[in-house]
Structure 1
Amino acid sequence: MAATTSKIRRALITGAGAADGIGFAIARHLGKAGHAVFLTGASARVMDRAAELRGEGIDATATVADLTMAADVARLRVAAGAVDILVNNAGMGSLASPSSDKAFVSMTEADWDQGIDVSLKTAFLVTRAFLPAMVEAGYGRVVNVASVTGPIVSFEGTSAYSAAKAGMVGLTRALALEMAKDGITVNAVAPGWIETGASSAMELTAALHTPPARAGLPHEVAAAVVFLASEGASYVNGAVLVVDGGNSLQERKG
């Protein structure tokens, strides 16, 4: 899919600290599409990612923020200023608060709250902070990084994550209806098995049973995000674009 870009836009990408992660790939691809990018993550490594992009000639800035905290999000809003494109990629876990699979009957309330906060509340707080400026401008693109886990499929030990990502899709659809009259589109991508530094051995093995017989790569998710963030996607609203190599289509896996 080719993105259509007629002017430089300012984009904020959350969860962009990992060098081999989806968020950083999205930031790089938006930068290569000609946009100025602002990265945020839970640790100082996000500053290294912005420096890396600047070394590639991309207009990139970054700040550290805990997006589960409203005060940190408020500081992020001041630091980043108004943006035209918001990519809510933060989720699953971070260096400071790594995720772990746990059977539902073994979960504590704190486990549940952490899963929902990291993978859904972050999107709520950040979107709430940056939407008003988009409304004022009469233009905006919000792209939420959901997952096939939750909205379409699931597996043991991921009840909080599944609930959060299903909630991300619900948030996408509700906001798409609310914001359309203001020139803002709200869409989601739903990645399947994507190989990153956080991929477990189980996930990489499962990816071998997808129709392409391999895991997806972060840049393949980024390409979908760049399209949804483009001016050319102006009549795509409330969509969930699955990026899983067709894995969720097959009943029988190897």
Structure 2
Amino acid sequence: MIVFRKSRKALVTGAGAADGIGVAIARALAEAGVSVTITASSARVEQRAAELRGEGLDVSAFAADLTLSGDVDRLRSETGEIDVLVNNAGMGTVAQPALQRRFLDLTESDWDRGIDVSLKTAFLSTRGFLAGMVQRGHGRVVNMASVTGPYVSNEGEAAYSAAKAGMIGLTHALALEVGRSGVTVNAVAPGWIATGASTPEELVAARNTPLGRAGSSEEVAAAVLFLASDGASYVNGAVLVVDGGNILQERKA
């Protein structure tokens, strides 16, 4: 079990779904002794925090639209300084689910929304909290990328693919800028992960991975927990793929 050597505070974005990756990350961090704040765009994030507190974990919640700088500023004021930022927000929200639309059918607003929810949220959140980490000489930023975009893609996911590829570029650039300040910036790139949002087609695709199954939110959270830990102090600018080896296959029967 990973244990943090000092008392740490973390913020996990995109933690509104009970069976989602964000909640699994928050649980893993809190179980390791980290004080965690979770955020999502709807008030259901308060319910997630209450459920985690019911497990005896130190978790609080703050509802915010992270595509808006004003909401991020209020979140920053509410939470104060943090040691770990997990930029997990992305895909879509309850009010605006992720869009599946071929490129020639995309409107400008479709494109903007796809980039905003999966990349601008990370930009604004990181801008809000990174300076404090640099000033204190310690911090961990973990960006939730995807194999979709940096390594593979699907029809109808041009905006999402561009945003997640951009997440890797952001990770690399920031890792160079703040590494000497004691802050590391890394990314996790999940493949087929079973959540409540998984479609039947996605679950079928997951059975064709080398491991023959979808991954779990907890398996993604384990990767994030390592990168967020004090022990990962010499891992910087890395992309940790969590896909059961699926991108290694040229043939996916």
**CA distance in 2: counterparts of 1:136 and 1:193, whole angstroms:** 38
**CA distance in 2: counterparts of 1:160 and 1:150, whole angstroms:** 9
**CA distance in 1: counterparts of 2:110 and 2:99, whole angstroms:** 9
Amino acid at match of 1:132: A
**CA distance in 2: counterparts of 1:73 and 1:97, whole angstroms:** 19
2:140 corresponds in structure 1 to: 141
1:53 corresponds in structure 2 to: 52
1:115 corresponds in structure 2 to: 114
Count of equivalent residues: 253
2:194 counterpart SS class: coil
Q: Aligned-pair distance for 1:140?
A: 0.1
Amino acid at match of 1:194: I
Amino acid at match of 2:105: S
Does 1:125 find its partner at 2:133?
no
1:149 counterpart SS class: coil
Does 1:245 find its partner at 2:244?
yes
CA RMSD of aligned residues (A): 0.7
1:93 corresponds in structure 2 to: 92
**CA distance in 2: counterparts of 1:173 and 1:96, whole angstroms:** 32
**CA distance in 1: counterparts of 2:243 and 2:32, whole angstroms:** 23
Which structure 2 residues correspond to residues 1-12 of structure 1 after superposition, within 5 A? 2-12=1-11
**CA distance in 1: counterparts of 2:69 and 2:226, whole angstroms:** 30
Unpaired stretches in structure 1, ≥5 consecutive residues: none
1:166-209, CA deviations, whole angstroms, 9 ceiling, x for partnerless residues?
Answer: 00000000000000011000000000000011111111110010
1:80 corresponds in structure 2 to: 79
User: Is the CA contact 2:175–2:236 (under 8 Å) kept in the aligned structure 1?
Assistant: yes
Q: Tell me: higher relative CO, structure 1 or 2? Use CA pairs within 8 A at least 6 residues apart.
A: 1
**Structure 2 length as normaliser, TM-score?**
0.99
User: Is the CA contact 2:140–2:184 (under 8 Å) kept in the aligned structure 1?
Assistant: yes
**CA distance in 1: counterparts of 2:173 and 2:18, whole angstroms:** 32
**CA distance in 2: counterparts of 1:42 and 1:98, whole angstroms:** 12
Unpaired stretches in structure 2, ≥5 consecutive residues: none
Q: Aligned-pair distance for 1:3?
A: 2.7
User: Is the CA contact 1:42–1:96 (under 8 Å) kept in the aligned structure 2?
Assistant: no
Amino acid at match of 1:197: G
2:203 counterpart SS class: helix
Q: Aligned-pair distance for 1:57?
A: 1.1
**CA distance in 2: counterparts of 1:3 and 1:144, whole angstroms:** 19
2:142 counterpart SS class: strand
1:12-71, CA deviations, whole angstroms, 9 ceiling, x for partnerless residues?
Answer: 000001000000000000000110000000111100111111111111110100000011
**CA distance in 1: counterparts of 2:61 and 2:73, whole angstroms:** 15
1:67-125, CA deviations, whole angstroms, 9 ceiling, x for partnerless residues?
Answer: 00011111110111110000000001011221121000000000000000000000000
User: Is the CA contact 2:10–2:35 (under 8 Å) kept in the aligned structure 1?
Assistant: yes
**Structure 1 length as normaliser, TM-score?**
0.98
